Structure 1
Amino acid sequence: MRQSSTSATRQRLTDFLNDPLSQGLLTGALTLIPARNYPTWLRRGLIWAPPIAGGAGAAYLVMNPKMRRKIAAKVAVAQYSPSTPDSLRPPEPPAAFRTKGPSRTAALIAAGTAVGGVFSLATAASFWADEKIDQGLRRINVPFPRAVMGLAAGGVTWWSLKRDQDAAAESKH
Protein backbone atom coordinates (compact mmCIF):
# COMPACT_ATOMS: atom_id res chain seq x y z
CA MET A 1 0.00 0.00 0.00
CA ARG A 2 2.71 2.45 0.93
CA GLN A 3 4.61 1.89 -2.29
CA SER A 4 1.59 2.65 -4.46
CA SER A 5 0.86 5.89 -2.60
CA THR A 6 4.52 6.89 -2.98
CA SER A 7 4.31 6.12 -6.69
CA ALA A 8 1.10 8.13 -7.03
CA THR A 9 2.66 11.07 -5.18
CA ARG A 10 5.76 10.87 -7.36
CA GLN A 11 3.59 10.76 -10.48
CA ARG A 12 1.61 13.84 -9.38
CA LEU A 13 4.86 15.69 -8.68
CA THR A 14 6.22 14.69 -12.09
CA ASP A 15 3.00 15.85 -13.78
CA PHE A 16 3.18 19.16 -11.90
CA LEU A 17 6.82 19.72 -12.82
CA ASN A 18 6.14 18.96 -16.50
CA ASP A 19 3.09 21.22 -16.78
CA PRO A 20 3.95 24.55 -18.48
CA LEU A 21 1.23 26.46 -16.61
CA SER A 22 2.32 25.28 -13.17
CA GLN A 23 5.95 26.02 -14.00
CA GLY A 24 5.03 29.49 -15.23
CA LEU A 25 3.06 30.18 -12.05
CA LEU A 26 5.86 28.86 -9.85
CA THR A 27 8.50 30.90 -11.67
CA GLY A 28 6.36 34.04 -11.48
CA ALA A 29 5.72 33.53 -7.77
CA LEU A 30 9.40 33.00 -7.00
CA THR A 31 10.30 36.12 -8.99
CA LEU A 32 8.27 38.15 -6.51
CA ILE A 33 11.02 37.57 -3.93
CA PRO A 34 13.97 39.88 -4.65
CA ALA A 35 17.33 38.12 -4.61
CA ARG A 36 18.62 40.82 -2.27
CA ASN A 37 16.16 39.52 0.34
CA TYR A 38 17.58 36.01 0.28
CA PRO A 39 19.56 35.20 3.43
CA THR A 40 23.27 35.90 2.97
CA TRP A 41 24.16 32.24 3.55
CA LEU A 42 21.79 31.20 0.73
CA ARG A 43 23.12 33.75 -1.77
CA ARG A 44 26.71 32.82 -1.02
CA GLY A 45 25.88 29.13 -1.12
CA LEU A 46 24.20 29.44 -4.51
CA ILE A 47 27.26 31.22 -5.86
CA TRP A 48 30.04 29.14 -4.28
CA ALA A 49 28.50 25.66 -4.24
CA PRO A 50 28.72 24.87 -7.99
CA PRO A 51 32.52 25.11 -8.37
CA ILE A 52 33.04 23.23 -5.10
CA ALA A 53 30.56 20.53 -6.11
CA GLY A 54 32.07 20.35 -9.61
CA GLY A 55 35.59 19.84 -8.28
CA ALA A 56 34.45 17.42 -5.55
CA GLY A 57 32.32 15.46 -8.03
CA ALA A 58 35.22 15.15 -10.45
CA ALA A 59 37.54 14.10 -7.61
CA TYR A 60 35.00 11.46 -6.57
CA LEU A 61 34.88 10.10 -10.10
CA VAL A 62 38.67 10.02 -10.26
CA MET A 63 38.84 8.09 -6.99
CA ASN A 64 35.99 5.72 -7.85
CA PRO A 65 36.78 3.84 -11.10
CA LYS A 66 33.67 1.65 -10.82
CA MET A 67 31.37 4.69 -10.84
CA ARG A 68 33.42 6.27 -13.63
CA ARG A 69 32.98 3.14 -15.79
CA LYS A 70 29.27 3.13 -15.05
CA ILE A 71 28.91 6.76 -16.16
CA ALA A 72 31.14 6.16 -19.18
CA ALA A 73 28.88 3.31 -20.26
CA LYS A 74 25.80 5.53 -19.91
CA VAL A 75 27.49 8.29 -21.92
CA ALA A 76 28.45 5.81 -24.63
CA VAL A 77 24.91 4.41 -24.82
CA ALA A 78 23.43 7.94 -24.90
CA GLN A 79 25.70 8.84 -27.82
CA TYR A 80 24.85 5.62 -29.65
CA SER A 81 22.62 6.10 -32.65
CA PRO A 82 20.53 3.07 -33.59
CA SER A 83 20.49 4.22 -37.22
CA THR A 84 24.23 3.49 -37.53
CA PRO A 85 24.50 0.28 -39.59
CA ASP A 86 28.15 -0.40 -38.60
CA SER A 87 27.49 -2.25 -35.39
CA LEU A 88 24.91 -2.81 -32.74
CA ARG A 89 27.59 -2.38 -30.05
CA PRO A 90 27.82 1.09 -28.45
CA PRO A 91 31.00 3.03 -29.20
CA GLU A 92 33.94 3.09 -26.81
CA PRO A 93 33.66 5.41 -23.80
CA PRO A 94 35.05 8.93 -24.29
CA ALA A 95 38.81 9.29 -23.84
CA ALA A 96 38.36 11.38 -20.68
CA PHE A 97 36.91 8.32 -18.96
CA ARG A 98 39.53 5.84 -20.22
CA THR A 99 42.86 7.53 -19.55
CA LYS A 100 44.68 7.47 -16.24
CA GLY A 101 47.45 9.37 -14.54
CA PRO A 102 48.00 12.44 -12.39
CA SER A 103 47.72 14.88 -15.28
CA ARG A 104 44.35 13.41 -16.31
CA THR A 105 43.23 13.52 -12.67
CA ALA A 106 44.14 17.19 -12.38
CA ALA A 107 42.51 17.93 -15.73
CA LEU A 108 39.24 16.25 -14.71
CA ILE A 109 39.12 18.09 -11.39
CA ALA A 110 39.94 21.39 -13.13
CA ALA A 111 37.23 20.75 -15.73
CA GLY A 112 34.65 19.96 -13.05
CA THR A 113 35.58 23.09 -11.13
CA ALA A 114 35.47 25.18 -14.32
CA VAL A 115 32.00 23.92 -15.24
CA GLY A 116 30.85 24.73 -11.72
CA GLY A 117 32.47 28.16 -12.09
CA VAL A 118 30.39 28.85 -15.18
CA PHE A 119 27.22 28.03 -13.24
CA SER A 120 28.48 30.23 -10.40
CA LEU A 121 29.03 33.16 -12.76
CA ALA A 122 25.59 32.66 -14.29
CA THR A 123 24.02 32.72 -10.82
CA ALA A 124 25.92 35.86 -9.82
CA ALA A 125 24.91 37.51 -13.12
CA SER A 126 21.27 36.60 -12.53
CA PHE A 127 21.38 38.18 -9.05
CA TRP A 128 22.90 41.31 -10.56
CA ALA A 129 20.33 41.39 -13.41
CA ASP A 130 17.46 40.89 -10.95
CA GLU A 131 18.56 43.95 -8.98
CA LYS A 132 19.18 46.10 -12.07
CA ILE A 133 15.84 45.24 -13.67
CA ASP A 134 14.06 46.01 -10.39
CA GLN A 135 15.89 49.35 -10.09
CA GLY A 136 15.17 50.22 -13.73
CA LEU A 137 11.45 49.54 -13.37
CA ARG A 138 11.33 51.63 -10.19
CA ARG A 139 13.25 54.45 -11.91
CA ILE A 140 10.65 54.68 -14.69
CA ASN A 141 7.87 54.58 -12.06
CA VAL A 142 6.36 51.22 -12.99
CA PRO A 143 3.82 50.37 -10.31
CA PHE A 144 4.54 47.05 -8.55
CA PRO A 145 7.81 46.29 -10.37
CA ARG A 146 8.22 42.83 -8.78
CA ALA A 147 4.73 41.86 -9.95
CA VAL A 148 5.59 43.01 -13.48
CA MET A 149 8.82 41.00 -13.33
CA GLY A 150 6.91 37.96 -12.01
CA LEU A 151 4.32 38.17 -14.79
CA ALA A 152 7.04 38.52 -17.42
CA ALA A 153 9.14 35.64 -16.05
CA GLY A 154 6.10 33.39 -15.62
CA GLY A 155 4.84 34.21 -19.12
CA VAL A 156 8.21 33.52 -20.75
CA THR A 157 8.55 30.25 -18.82
CA TRP A 158 5.05 29.11 -19.80
CA TRP A 159 5.54 30.07 -23.46
CA SER A 160 8.95 28.39 -23.68
CA LEU A 161 7.83 25.12 -22.09
CA LYS A 162 4.60 25.04 -24.10
CA ARG A 163 6.56 25.55 -27.32
CA ASP A 164 9.00 22.77 -26.36
CA GLN A 165 6.15 20.37 -25.58
CA ASP A 166 4.40 21.20 -28.87
CA ALA A 167 7.64 20.62 -30.80
CA ALA A 168 8.18 17.28 -29.01
CA ALA A 169 4.61 16.22 -29.81
CA GLU A 170 5.08 17.14 -33.49
CA SER A 171 8.32 15.18 -33.75
CA LYS A 172 6.59 12.03 -32.44
CA HIS A 173 4.05 12.15 -35.26
Structure 2
Amino acid sequence: MQFQFLHYNIQELIPVNSCNTIMAYNKEIRGKLLELIRRHQFLISVSENLNVIYTQSSLVNFVISSIVICLSGFNVMTVKDVVYVSTFLSFLILSLFQVFFLCYFGDLLMNSSTAICDAIYNSRWYLMENAFRKDILIMHIRSRRACKLTAWGYANINLNAFMRVLSTSWSYLALLNTMYDQRN
Protein backbone atom coordinates (compact mmCIF):
# COMPACT_ATOMS: atom_id res chain seq x y z
CA MET A 1 0.00 0.00 0.00
CA GLN A 2 2.83 2.39 0.84
CA PHE A 3 4.43 1.79 -2.55
CA GLN A 4 1.08 2.62 -4.17
CA PHE A 5 0.89 5.89 -2.21
CA LEU A 6 4.42 6.67 -3.33
CA HIS A 7 3.42 5.83 -6.90
CA TYR A 8 0.59 8.35 -6.78
CA ASN A 9 2.71 11.07 -5.15
CA ILE A 10 5.46 10.70 -7.75
CA GLN A 11 3.01 11.01 -10.62
CA GLU A 12 1.55 14.17 -9.09
CA LEU A 13 4.94 15.70 -8.19
CA ILE A 14 5.15 17.99 -11.20
CA PRO A 15 2.15 20.27 -11.64
CA VAL A 16 0.30 20.29 -14.94
CA ASN A 17 1.76 22.98 -17.15
CA SER A 18 -0.71 24.23 -19.73
CA CYS A 19 1.93 25.62 -22.08
CA ASN A 20 4.28 22.57 -21.88
CA THR A 21 7.42 24.65 -21.37
CA ILE A 22 10.44 23.72 -19.27
CA MET A 23 9.73 24.54 -15.63
CA ALA A 24 12.20 25.78 -13.03
CA TYR A 25 13.53 23.27 -10.53
CA ASN A 26 12.53 25.33 -7.51
CA LYS A 27 12.94 24.62 -3.79
CA GLU A 28 9.36 23.44 -3.39
CA ILE A 29 9.61 20.71 -6.03
CA ARG A 30 13.12 19.76 -4.90
CA GLY A 31 11.91 19.42 -1.30
CA LYS A 32 9.02 17.21 -2.39
CA LEU A 33 11.34 15.08 -4.53
CA LEU A 34 13.84 14.62 -1.69
CA GLU A 35 11.00 13.59 0.62
CA LEU A 36 9.78 11.05 -1.95
CA ILE A 37 13.32 9.70 -2.39
CA ARG A 38 13.69 9.30 1.39
CA ARG A 39 10.35 7.52 1.59
CA HIS A 40 11.34 5.23 -1.29
CA GLN A 41 14.61 4.36 0.45
CA PHE A 42 12.74 3.73 3.70
CA LEU A 43 10.26 1.40 1.99
CA ILE A 44 13.13 -0.50 0.37
CA SER A 45 14.85 -0.94 3.74
CA VAL A 46 11.60 -2.08 5.37
CA SER A 47 11.04 -4.70 2.68
CA GLU A 48 14.64 -5.90 3.04
CA ASN A 49 14.17 -6.18 6.81
CA LEU A 50 10.96 -8.17 6.30
CA ASN A 51 12.85 -10.49 4.00
CA VAL A 52 15.64 -11.01 6.54
CA ILE A 53 13.14 -11.72 9.32
CA TYR A 54 10.86 -14.10 7.43
CA THR A 55 13.11 -15.74 4.85
CA GLN A 56 13.86 -18.96 6.77
CA SER A 57 10.35 -19.42 8.12
CA SER A 58 8.93 -18.87 4.63
CA LEU A 59 10.98 -21.74 3.24
CA VAL A 60 9.91 -24.01 6.09
CA ASN A 61 6.33 -22.87 5.53
CA PHE A 62 6.48 -23.73 1.82
CA VAL A 63 8.00 -27.18 2.40
CA ILE A 64 5.59 -28.10 5.18
CA SER A 65 2.62 -26.69 3.28
CA SER A 66 3.47 -28.82 0.25
CA ILE A 67 3.50 -31.92 2.43
CA VAL A 68 0.35 -30.95 4.34
CA ILE A 69 -1.57 -30.18 1.14
CA CYS A 70 -0.45 -33.49 -0.33
CA LEU A 71 -1.43 -35.54 2.72
CA SER A 72 -4.73 -33.73 3.20
CA GLY A 73 -5.61 -34.29 -0.45
CA PHE A 74 -4.66 -37.94 -0.13
CA ASN A 75 -6.91 -38.34 2.90
CA VAL A 76 -9.78 -36.61 1.12
CA MET A 77 -9.42 -39.01 -1.80
CA THR A 78 -9.00 -42.26 0.15
CA VAL A 79 -11.10 -41.93 3.33
CA LYS A 80 -14.72 -43.06 2.96
CA ASP A 81 -16.17 -41.50 6.13
CA VAL A 82 -17.89 -38.19 5.33
CA VAL A 83 -17.00 -36.62 8.69
CA TYR A 84 -13.30 -37.26 8.20
CA VAL A 85 -13.43 -36.16 4.58
CA SER A 86 -15.07 -32.86 5.52
CA THR A 87 -12.46 -32.29 8.23
CA PHE A 88 -9.56 -32.98 5.89
CA LEU A 89 -11.19 -30.99 3.10
CA SER A 90 -11.59 -27.90 5.29
CA PHE A 91 -7.98 -28.31 6.47
CA LEU A 92 -6.85 -28.62 2.84
CA ILE A 93 -8.73 -25.47 1.80
CA LEU A 94 -7.37 -23.46 4.73
CA SER A 95 -3.83 -24.64 3.99
CA LEU A 96 -4.24 -23.54 0.38
CA PHE A 97 -5.54 -20.14 1.45
CA GLN A 98 -2.67 -19.66 3.89
CA VAL A 99 -0.05 -20.26 1.21
CA PHE A 100 -2.02 -18.30 -1.37
CA PHE A 101 -2.25 -15.16 0.78
CA LEU A 102 1.44 -15.29 1.63
CA CYS A 103 2.28 -15.54 -2.07
CA TYR A 104 -0.33 -12.98 -3.10
CA PHE A 105 1.04 -10.29 -0.82
CA GLY A 106 4.62 -11.11 -1.84
CA ASP A 107 3.54 -10.71 -5.47
CA LEU A 108 1.79 -7.45 -4.61
CA LEU A 109 5.00 -6.15 -3.00
CA MET A 110 7.04 -7.03 -6.09
CA ASN A 111 4.59 -5.47 -8.53
CA SER A 112 3.97 -2.29 -6.55
CA SER A 113 7.69 -1.70 -5.97
CA THR A 114 8.46 -1.98 -9.68
CA ALA A 115 5.47 0.21 -10.53
CA ILE A 116 7.45 3.13 -9.09
CA CYS A 117 9.50 2.99 -12.29
CA ASP A 118 6.33 3.57 -14.33
CA ALA A 119 5.24 6.39 -12.03
CA ILE A 120 8.55 8.19 -12.55
CA TYR A 121 8.26 7.77 -16.29
CA ASN A 122 4.70 9.16 -16.24
CA SER A 123 5.53 12.07 -13.93
CA ARG A 124 5.99 14.72 -16.63
CA TRP A 125 9.76 14.76 -15.95
CA TYR A 126 10.32 16.08 -19.45
CA LEU A 127 8.86 19.44 -18.35
CA MET A 128 11.64 20.00 -15.80
CA GLU A 129 15.21 21.22 -15.99
CA ASN A 130 18.15 18.84 -16.45
CA ALA A 131 19.07 18.94 -12.75
CA PHE A 132 15.69 17.43 -11.86
CA ARG A 133 16.04 14.81 -14.58
CA LYS A 134 19.41 13.73 -13.18
CA ASP A 135 18.05 13.54 -9.63
CA ILE A 136 15.05 11.43 -10.56
CA LEU A 137 17.08 9.18 -12.86
CA ILE A 138 18.78 7.47 -9.91
CA MET A 139 15.42 6.73 -8.33
CA HIS A 140 14.18 5.42 -11.67
CA ILE A 141 17.14 3.05 -12.03
CA ARG A 142 16.73 1.72 -8.46
CA SER A 143 13.00 1.18 -8.85
CA ARG A 144 13.57 -1.25 -11.72
CA ARG A 145 14.86 -3.82 -9.21
CA ALA A 146 11.88 -5.29 -7.37
CA CYS A 147 11.61 -5.41 -3.61
CA LYS A 148 10.78 -8.99 -2.81
CA LEU A 149 10.40 -11.58 -0.14
CA THR A 150 12.25 -14.84 -0.64
CA ALA A 151 12.09 -18.31 0.82
CA TRP A 152 15.69 -18.33 2.10
CA GLY A 153 16.99 -17.37 -1.33
CA TYR A 154 15.49 -20.52 -2.83
CA ALA A 155 12.49 -18.88 -4.46
CA ASN A 156 10.77 -15.53 -4.63
CA ILE A 157 7.48 -15.43 -2.77
CA ASN A 158 4.94 -14.59 -5.46
CA LEU A 159 2.09 -16.26 -7.31
CA ASN A 160 4.54 -18.34 -9.33
CA ALA A 161 5.77 -19.83 -6.06
CA PHE A 162 2.17 -20.67 -5.16
CA MET A 163 1.85 -22.54 -8.43
CA ARG A 164 5.08 -24.41 -7.67
CA VAL A 165 3.76 -25.41 -4.24
CA LEU A 166 0.58 -26.71 -5.87
CA SER A 167 2.59 -28.53 -8.53
CA THR A 168 4.86 -30.14 -5.97
CA SER A 169 1.91 -31.16 -3.82
CA TRP A 170 0.15 -32.64 -6.82
CA SER A 171 3.25 -34.64 -7.76
CA TYR A 172 3.52 -36.07 -4.25
CA LEU A 173 -0.21 -36.81 -4.24
CA ALA A 174 0.01 -38.66 -7.55
CA LEU A 175 2.93 -40.72 -6.21
CA LEU A 176 1.03 -41.56 -3.01
CA ASN A 177 -2.06 -42.55 -4.99
CA THR A 178 -0.01 -44.81 -7.25
CA MET A 179 1.61 -46.50 -4.27
CA TYR A 180 -1.77 -46.84 -2.49
CA ASP A 181 -3.43 -48.32 -5.59
CA GLN A 182 -0.63 -50.87 -6.07
CA ARG A 183 -0.91 -51.94 -2.45
CA ASN A 184 -4.66 -52.51 -2.70
Q: How does the TM-score come out when normalised to structure 2?
A: 0.29
Larger Rg: 2
